A and B are shown apart, each in its own frame.
With several copies, the nearest count.
Chain A
Amino acid sequence: MDKRLTSPAEAVAGIKDGAVVMIGGFGGSGAPIELIHALIDQGAKDLTVINNNAGNGHVGIAALIEQKRVAKMICSFPRSADPVVFTEAYLAGQIELELVPQGTLAERIRAGGAGIPAFYTPTSFGTDLAKGKPVEVFEGRPYVQERWLKADFALIKAEAADPHGNLTYRMAARNFNPIMAMAATTTIVQASRIVPLGGIDPEQVVTPGIFVDHVVEVAKPAQEEELNRAGAVYP
Chain B
Amino acid sequence: MSDVIDIEAIKLSNAQIAWRAAQDIEDGAYVNLGIGFPEMVAKFQPKGKQAIFHTENGVLDFGEAPAKGEEDWDCINAGKKAITIKPGTAFFHHADSFAMVRGGHLDVAILGAYQVAQNGDLANWSTGKGGVPAVGGAMDLVHGAKRVAVLTDHCTKKGEPKLLAACTMPLTGVGCVTRIYTSLAVVDVVDGGFVLREKIPAITLEALQAVTGAPLGTEGPVGELICPEELK
Contacts and interface: CB of A to CB of B under 8 A. Distances in A.
B76 A107 contact: no
B39 interface: no
Interface string B86-114: 11111111111111111111100000000
Contact of A81 (B57, B58, B80): B80
A145 interface: no
Contacts of B220: none
Given A164-B52, A210-B52, A210-B60, A110 B95 contact: yes
By DSSP majority rule, is chain A's interface helix, strand, loop, or mixed?
loop
Contacts of B137: 76, 101-103
Given A103-B101, A171-B72, A76 B134 contact: yes
Interface stretch (A27-35, A41-49, A61-69): A27-35
B93 A114 contact: no
Nearest to A211: B105
A173 interface: yes
Contacts of B227: none
Contacts of A78: 132-134
A56 to B, nearest CB: 9
Interface string A114-146: 111000011111111100000000000000000
Most buried by A among B86, B93, B172: B93
A123 B75 CA distance: 27
By DSSP majority rule, is chain B's interface helix, strand, loop, or mixed?
loop
A5 to B, nearest CB: 14
Contact of B140 (A102, A169, A197, A223): A102
Given A87-B132, A210-B52, A179 B94 contact: yes
A106 B126 CA distance: 21
Interface in A140-196: 162, 164, 166, 169-179, 182, 196
A171 B173 contact: no
Interface string A196-235: 1111101101101111000000000001111000000000
B135 A205 contact: no
Interface of A: 1, 26-30, 52, 76-81, 83, 86-87, 90-91, 97, 99-104, 106-107, 109-110, 112-116, 121-129, 162, 164, 166, 169-179, 182, 196-200, 202-203, 205-206, 208-211, 223-226
Given A123-B140, A208-B100, 13 more contacts: A29-B76, A77-B134, A91-B132, A100-B135, A101-B136, A101-B139, A102-B136, A102-B140, A109-B94, A174-B93, A210-B60, A223-B73, A225-B76
